[in-house]
Amino acid sequence: MRMLSEAPVTQSTAAIVELLNFLGKTSNPLPKTVDLPGMVLVLSNRRDVYYTTTAKSCSCPSAAYRPGQKCKHQRQHYSEKDIPRQSMVETQDSIRPTGKWPGGHNGPVAPEEVV
C-alpha cells in the first residue's frame, strides 16, 4: 500500500479545468485562485500550473528553496494564527556561525582598559 505524501503537489491547469467542470464552476477564464476545504489552488504567473497552498506548506518553488519559511501564497491566504510556528531547531539549516563578538554581534567592540 502506498502512503500519501503530506506535501502539496503542483497541479496542471488541465487538471484544474477538469476539477472546475466537475464542480460545476466556470473555467474560462482561468480563476486566479480556487478555494477548497483545507487548501487554496493558486494560478502561477506563467498561467501553466496551479500551486497547492495549505497553512503548513506550499508547492511553489519559493517554498522549496526556503524550507521552514512562509511563502507569499501562505501569507496571502492564511492568517498568522492558521500557519503553524516552527521551532528554531527545525528552521536552522544553515552552517553559518552565529556572532563572534560579545553579545552575539559581528563587529568590533570598545576595548577594555588595561590596568
Q: Is 20 contained in some domain?
A: yes
The whole-number pLDDT of residue 69 equals: 82
Per-residue pLDDT of the chain (115 residues; tens, 9 = 90+): 344 557 788 888 899 889 888 988 887 888 898 888 888 999 888 888 999 988 888 888 888 888 878 888 888 888 766 655 554 444 455 566 566 666 666 666 566 665 5
Q: Is 95 contained in some domain?
A: no
**pTM of the complete model:** 0.63
> Residue 1: in which H helix or E strand, if any?
none
Q: Which residues pair with 50 in a beta bridge?
A: 11, 43
Q: Is 90 contained in some domain?
A: no
Q: Residue 51 sits in which domain range?
A: 1-82
Q: Is 91 contained in some domain?
A: no
Q: Is 59 contained in some domain?
A: yes
Q: Nearest-5° angle of CA 80, CA 85, CA 88? A: 140
Q: Positive or negative CA dihedral for 92, 5, 63, 85? A: negative
Q: Is 88 contained in some domain?
A: no
Q: Is 8 contained in some domain?
A: yes
The whole-number pLDDT of residue 60 equals: 87
ω into residue 97 within 30 of 0, thus cis?
A: no
Q: Is 42 contained in some domain?
A: yes
Number of domains in the chain: 1
Residue 38: left if φ>0, alpha if ψ -120 to 50, beta else—which one? left
- The identity of residue 41, as a single letter, is L
